Amino acid sequence: MHRILRINLTERQAAIEPLPATYRSLGGRGLTARIISDEVPPTCDPLGTQNKLVFAAGLCAGTSVPNSGRLSVGAKSPLTGTIKESNAGGSVAQKIARLGFRAVIVEGAAKEPVTVKIDRDGIRFESAAALAGRGNYQVIELLKNECGPGVGIVSIGQAGEMRLKAAAISVTTPDFHVRVAARGGLGALMGAKGLKALVLDDAGCEAVPVADPERLKVAVQAFTRGVLSHPLIGGLKAFGTPILVNMMDAMGTIVTKNYSQGRFAGAEQISGEHMAEIVAQRPNAKPSHACMRGCVIQCSNIYTDPAGELVVAGIEYETVALMGSNCLIDDLDAIAAMNRACNDFGLDTMDVGGALAVAMEAGLLAWGDAAAAVQLVAEIGAGSERGRMIGNGVKHTGEALGVTRIPHVKGQCLSGYDPRGLKGTGVTYATATMGADHTCGNALPSPANPGYDPAASSGQAPVSQFLQRYFAAVDSLGICLFAMVPPLDMPELQQHLVACVAAIVGEELGSDYLLELGGAVVKVEKAFNDAAGFTSADDRLPDFFSTEALPETGQIFDVATDELDSVHAD
Ligand code: SF4
């Protein structure tokens, strides 16, 4: 796993390089950040040939560490103009690791759409003419039939080919469901490069080398046992991430009607609990599903229609909140249909959901009109003018329609947690190096931390700073964040994980390893953004969060700007 594969699409050439010594301790987001920082001019056109697309496996990928197969995709973002890392589950990161690579760097641009196939015998460039214009589901089916059931596929749909700013990158699971590196418009960059798909086949490859297998075995057992003992895990298995719907609604922090309310009258209808009831009644549906090998949590689900036909696997809280409560839509089947369309066209459901809500605020369609919303999402794939507008995300749509209340930071739509009641998350939205992104540090209350008040007006920056560094480390190891929530409440699990990493790399690591790693990653990202022209003025939430109180709780976002600026001060 000490090699980099560099693919030049302009020249149709590939080169295998040793991993530079300075990159040896890096994986996932840490590695994409360093490569982008070292090789991409910060002020370049994000869709130009100077930008590069980096696919990196985490440091733990391909080992027995549970939930460690997240694939990091890095670039300068076409959506935000900042540095970006977007990650997804699936089987591809584990295959990159087994093929002996830490990262695949894609440079240049192909004149015609191309598919790149990677296996232990080499790298092949093939015309993607037969795949061009097709959605991810067809592309995956065709490539699976052609290349066999053991491959992993990275692909874009029509949105990426159209270079829409909310375009995402699809990654297959071992059973060929779709997971998505959704945020930051990285699918648009893949489209600009003319790369329709990457196919990775690790057949015949050796296992990923581990320096101390016995130590890893002991540490993995302790880590896994601890994660599975946390009360959150049972809820995630039973109800998936939509278990958060009722929780956020009860707190008055579920995003509702374009972030104008904090409770949704239809919350029960779109809750994880109701979804579980639907799933229990439908043929071929499943309440839990693993998006990667080695997942011990299985928070995903398989959602089918009443006849048992697959709609989507799986539905996540963010999709439910942005396309449901935020649009006043209380119909899970309609949300699932939009989710499927977004997966097929290759789109971020959050930015599309945010765009639908601002379009409703502008009067383009009525609040809660599920049929009109489904139709508008279908138009994105067809490339209509309205569809392209929505597919360019919430900021573009809001500006095009003259809406002043646009819920974005640095061009990226906020997630499903209202920052007025969850102010630590609000600090993360404002100051994260890649635009509003809850996965950078979502500060939710926990029974294990009763002293933390998520609605307090001060003291949120240290919480956000800690979480931003912690999850930057998690993303660098390639571990799913749901496996890393229990260690926040049970710090001994962090040390079991550090022991896992130490066993893999064969070095002793200090007890501060995670925060030191994550802090260094955030610093590299921040320096890139500074060089790209971003300032503290960009680290702010839209004004309306400070001037419009949530009607149910009276809360506004009132964390001082000095406190926001302190996140990156040391
Ligand atoms: S917990 Fe969920 S997101 Fe994480 S690896 Fe498992 S199925 Fe994937």
Q: What is the DSSP string of 406-472?
A: --EETTEE--SB-TTT-HHHHHHHHH-TTSS-GGG------TT-TT--TT-SSSHHHHHHHHHHHHH
- Please give the model's pTM, rounded to 2 decimal places: 0.97
Q: What is the pLDDT of residue 525?
A: 98
Q: State how far the Cα of 156 lies from the Cα of 166, in Å rounded to an integer.
A: 12
**What atom in ligand 1 is closest to the CA of residue 67?**
5
Q: Mind listing the pLDDT tens digit for each residue in 42-80?
A: 999 999 999 999 999 999 999 999 999 999 999 999 999
What parts of the chain have a pLDDT lower than 70? 1
Closest CA to 180 of 167, 165, 170: 170
The residue type of 284 is: N
Q: What is the pLDDT of residue 448?
A: 79
Residue nearest atom 2 of ligand 1, based on CA coordinates: 299
Per this entry, what is the length of the chain?
570
CA of 375 to the centre of ligand 1 (A): 30
Q: What is the pLDDT of residue 449?
A: 84
**What atom in ligand 1 is closest to the CA of residue 288?**
7
Phi, psi angle pair for 67, to nearest 5°: 55, 35
Q: Are strands 114-119 and 195-200 parallel, antiparallel or unpaired?
A: parallel
Collapsing DSSP to helix, strand or coil, 113 comes out as coil
Collapsing DSSP to helix, strand or coil, 168 comes out as coil
Q: Which residues line ligand 1 (CB under 6 A)?
A: 67, 89, 290-292, 295, 297-300, 480, 482
Q: What is the pLDDT of residue 570?
A: 82
Q: Mind listing the pLDDT tens digit for each residue in 460-495?
A: 999 999 999 999 999 999 999 999 999 999 999 999
Q: What is the pLDDT of residue 527?
A: 98
Closest CA to 231 of 530, 448, 5: 448
**What atom in ligand 1 is closest to the CA of residue 299?**
2
Q: What is the pLDDT of residue 522?
A: 98
Q: What is the pLDDT of residue 450?
A: 87
CA of 233 to the centre of ligand 1 (A): 11
Residue 316, CA distances (Å) to 219, 295, 341, 497 in order: 30, 17, 15, 26
CA of 66 to the centre of ligand 1 (A): 10
Residue nearest atom 8 of ligand 1, based on CA coordinates: 291
CA of 446 to the centre of ligand 1 (A): 20
- Residue 112, judged by CB atoms within 10 A of its CB (0-12, 13-18, 19+), counts as exposed
CA of 227 to the centre of ligand 1 (A): 13
How much of the chain is in helix, strand and coil states, percent to nearest 5?
45, 15, 40
CA of 273 to the centre of ligand 1 (A): 18
Q: What is the pLDDT of residue 308?
A: 98
Closest CA to 114 of 14, 3, 181, 4: 14
Q: What is the pLDDT of residue 1?
A: 60
CA angle, residues 405, 406, 411, in degrees to nearest 5:
155
Residue from 60, 68, 295 whose mutation best tests the ligand 1 pocket (most atoms within 8 A of CB): 295
